[in-house]
């Protein structure tokens, strides 16, 4: 079964039925993660492939999304086994071919750039400095947004603990009925504030895409005068650099969203625990709620502070990663560069582009 045929089957499933919301990116992520993690050879047995991670991940992906097209699930499972076997072998072969192609391109680039080695080195160093200047405010902005959102969440949740303490101190009848709204409101505030946090942090990662495009284009212009005879090869190397940097930006956005979601999951049990305690008998309610309410505010603040400490440095770490990518480009173009080790980045881009292209073509035909 060819890669195109396999992807065609996946794409048809993706556009059949209202609930079949499977994207090209999701499929590419699952396929690529499998092949980068797999350490066995291309001649694995069918039983091993059937139990492999790609089969499990793709099954999970489609089972979650194909609620209205379950009749296709069996056919999909049959296609996954030969698809995984052939694609593994094909990518192994393509990886070696691509590595050799990139090696030759780099050798040609180095040869053409060698008379201008010092100038090229200076231009890329200047690009690194410019990139650091552009990224520095971003890291500060991200940390500031994280701190601001953490403080806001802390202030929004703090009054609930105090109001619960006040209610407990009041000797009122119907304590359960009086406290019930606070449990629901606490849950709503946690969900709302975390959702707002995600919405505010996401654009920061999107802004990086623009900065990356600007930086790569600037580097292209800086190196163009020295590589007039090999512009296509230089462009390919810069495309690879851009892909790796943008992938890092996408990973950062995912990490920000995941961290916010983890915070929500850590805070939600406090509201659930309060609801559970309110279901107990009225006689023991005040006694059981007392210690819980006293520690509630501190426990929630601790989780929020852990989030702030974890997510705050993400910007600085990402900046270092981007600068490192450009530094690696400088080393690759140097006259004494070693063996190419990042050819898999180009292969990953190729896999993702092909999957996305097939999905796009099929959707155009379907429309």
Residues 261-292 have pLDDT tens digits of 999 999 988 888 877 777 765 556 666 677 77
What percent of the chain has pLDDT above 90? Answer: 24
Read off the pLDDT band of 33 (50, 70, 90).
low
Average the pLDDT over 26-52 and give the result. Answer: 52
Judge whether residue 302 has pLDDT over 60: yes
pLDDT of residue 283: 57
Q: Which bin fits 40, alpha (ψ -120 to 50), beta or left (φ > 0)?
A: beta
Is 14 a residue whose pLDDT tops 60?
no
Rounded (10°) CA dihedral 323, 144, 261, 196: -130
Phi-psi region of 132 (alpha: psi -120 to 50; beta: other; left: phi over 0): alpha
Identify the DSSP state of 38: -
Mean pLDDT of the chain: 75
Instruction: Between 22 and 203, name the one with better pLDDT.
Output: 203
At 333, the pLDDT band (50, 70, 90 cuts) reads confident
Q: Given the structure tokens 């940390």, which residue do they identify?
A: 143
The region, left, alpha or beta by phi > 0 then psi within -120 to 50, assigned to residue 305 is alpha
pLDDT at residue 263, rounded to an integer: 93
d(CA 124, CA 331): 10
Say which range, 178-192, 228-242, 282-296, has the weakest mean pLDDT: 282-296
Give the phi and the psi of residue 310 in degrees, each rounded to 5: -75, -45
Average pLDDT over residues 153-164: 84
Rounded to an integer, the average pLDDT of 49-68 is 52
Residue 48 has pLDDT above 80, yes or no: no
Q: Which residue do the tokens 């005879």 mark?
A: 229
Are 197 and 260 spatial neighbours (Cβ–Cβ below 8 Å)?
yes
The answer to whether residues 7 and 354 touch, using CB atoms and an 8 Å cutoff, is: yes
Structure tokens at 348: 């990953």
Q: What is the pLDDT of residue 15?
A: 40
Find out whether 304 and 153 touch, Cβ atoms under 8 Å.
yes
329-357 core/surface letters (b: 16 or more CB in 10 A; e: else): bbebbbeeeeebebbebbbbbebbeebbe
Q: How confident is the model at residue 7 (pLDDT cuts 50, 70, 90)?
A: very low
Q: What is the rounded CA–CA span in Å between residue 302 and residue 305?
A: 5
Q: What percent of the chain has pLDDT over 70?
A: 63
Cα-to-chain-centroid distance, residue 81? 27
More confidently predicted of 5 and 198: 198
- Asked whether residue 259 carries a pLDDT value surpassing 90, the answer given is yes
Note whether 251 and 32 are within 8 A (CB).
Answer: no
């Amino acid at each position: 079964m060819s890669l195109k045929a396999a992807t065609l089957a996946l794409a048809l499933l993706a556009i059949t039925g209202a609930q079949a919301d499977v994207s090209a990116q999701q499929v590419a992520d699952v396929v690529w993660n499998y092949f980068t993690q797999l350490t066995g050879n291309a001649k694995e047995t069918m039983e091993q492939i059937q139990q492999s991670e790609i089969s499990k991940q793709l099954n999970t992906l489609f089972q979650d999304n194909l609620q209205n097209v379950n009749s296709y699930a069996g056919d999909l499972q049959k296609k996954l086994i030969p698809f995984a076997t052939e694609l593994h072998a094909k990518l192994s072969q393509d990886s070696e071919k691509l590595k050799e192609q990139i090696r030759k391109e780099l050798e040609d680039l180095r040869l053409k750039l060698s008379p201008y080695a010092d100038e090229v080195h200076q231009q890329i160093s200047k690009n690194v400095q410019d990139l650091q200047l552009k990224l520095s405010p971003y890291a500060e902005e991200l940390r500031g947004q994280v701190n601001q959102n953490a403080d806001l969440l802390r202030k929004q949740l703090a009054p609930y603990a105090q109001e619960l303490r006040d209610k407990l101190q009041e000797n009122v009848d119907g304590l359960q009925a009086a406290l019930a709204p606070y449990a629901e409101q606490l849950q709503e505030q946690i969900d709302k504030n975390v959702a707002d946090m995600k919405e505010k942090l996401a654009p920061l990662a999107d802004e990086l895409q623009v900065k990356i495009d600007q930086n790569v284009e600037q580097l292209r212009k800086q190196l163009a005068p020295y590589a007039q005879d090999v512009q296509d090869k230089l462009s390919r190397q810069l495309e690879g650099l851009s892909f790796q940097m943008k992938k890092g930006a996408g990973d950062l956005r995912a990490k920000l969203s995941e961290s916010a979601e983890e915070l929500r999951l850590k805070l939600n049990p406090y509201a659930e625990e309060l609801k559970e305690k309110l279901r107990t008998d009225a006689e023991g309610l005040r006694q059981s709620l007392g210690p819980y309410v006293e520690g509630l505010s501190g426990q929630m603040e601790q989780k929020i502070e852990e989030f702030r400490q974890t997510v705050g440095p993400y910007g600085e770490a990402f900046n270092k990663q981007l600068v490192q990518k450009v530094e690696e480009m400088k080393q690759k173009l140097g006259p004494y560069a070693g063996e190419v080790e990042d050819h898999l980045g180009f292969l990953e881009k190729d896999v993702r582009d092909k999957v996305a292209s097939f999905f796009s073509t099929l959707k155009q035909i379907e429309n």
